[in-house]
Homo-oligomer: A and B are copies of this chain.
């Protein structure tokens, strides 16, 4: 495997050259100037992160930007652990009510940074096949956790995809709650091309995210690209936008709709939707009845009802942190 390490040293960049370029507007035109500025990531990644740029377009929306544009946002070992730190913090951060995820630069993400991974995470360790295998499983579990934190975070996560979303990028977006893309976006379940069955989420979540099992199988078995229109008609994304600027505005609009509503209602909804996916209807009904025996005692119910009474949007009310 030493040999492998050397040979793949320039793989990552080579491998990404196939990704089709695009001319995106440099200045991101957001709902308001302030917001736009808040989301700009001209200064690069946000320390201590090296692969993520974090900003707050509004008080209650956090924008997490994959930020290694010169490497096409390829996921290196730093990324794998920074995602966990980042989303665990967002889970605890009562100020944050919605998360928007997007990618800096020309495309969303080229997927895993093969070169980096080969030199670190995927190094075989152990005295025999069993011990090497044991180590591999531990590493896979860790990578899986990188995306599962998105699902465990009770705040809804809106992901906005432009350009390309390849390999582990697909694993990642299936763990998000709402998927948007630009007209020029494409998606590729790339793992079969690298000689492995995708093991950080795509095979587990994509069939529960898309309505057509035939399409899921075709994508996963042939690694063919799927473009925006098919992504929309198949249900992978719920909206397609003309370009990145429009999409980011759209993502912020959706995020704003969510952020302005009762966090008790919003986060309870996310948690119960994920619960329902993994259980029978009877179990799901019992769970939410147990859940709501306390949650219905929120003052938000009163506030929201008042807004309705006054023919106003629920967003006109202020809801306590959760």
Contacts and interface: CB of A to CB of B under 8 A. Distances in A.
B214 A235 contact: yes
Interface in A264-314: 264-266, 268-273, 276-282, 284-285, 287-309, 311, 314
A235 B212 contact: yes
A128 interface: yes
A268 B131 CA distance: 12
A320 B125 CA distance: 12
A37 interface: no
Contacts of A268: 196-197
Contacts of A271: 197
Contacts of A236: 212, 214
A93 interface: no
A10 interface: yes
* Number of copies of chain A assembled together: 6
Most B CB within 10 A of own CB, among A8, A124, A262, A293: A293
Nearest to A239: B218
Interface in A231-273: 233-238, 254, 257-258, 261-262, 264-266, 268-273
B203 A213 contact: no
B221 A293 contact: no
Contact of A8 (B126, B222, B309): B309
Contacts of A299: 127-128, 130
B207 A273 contact: yes
A274 to B, nearest CB: 8
A18 to B, nearest CB: 7
A57 interface: no
A112 B256 CA distance: 26
A78 interface: no
A272 to B, nearest CB: 5
A20 to B, nearest CB: 14
Given A199-B289, A278-B281, A284-B203, A133 B295 contact: yes
A266 B301 contact: no
25 contacts: A11-B309, A14-B308, A14-B311, A114-B305, A127-B320, A129-B129, A130-B298, A133-B295, A177-B221, A178-B214, A195-B305, A197-B265, A197-B295, A203-B273, A203-B288, A210-B211, A211-B211, A212-B236, A214-B238, A218-B238, A221-B258, A221-B266, A221-B269, A222-B254, A223-B261
Which 6 pairs, one residue from A and one from B, show the smallest C-beta to C-beta distance?
Answer: A211-B211, A212-B235, A130-B298, A197-B268, A195-B304, A294-B294
Given A156-B217, A194-B314, A221-B257, 5 more contacts: A140-B292, A210-B213, A213-B235, A217-B238, A287-B290
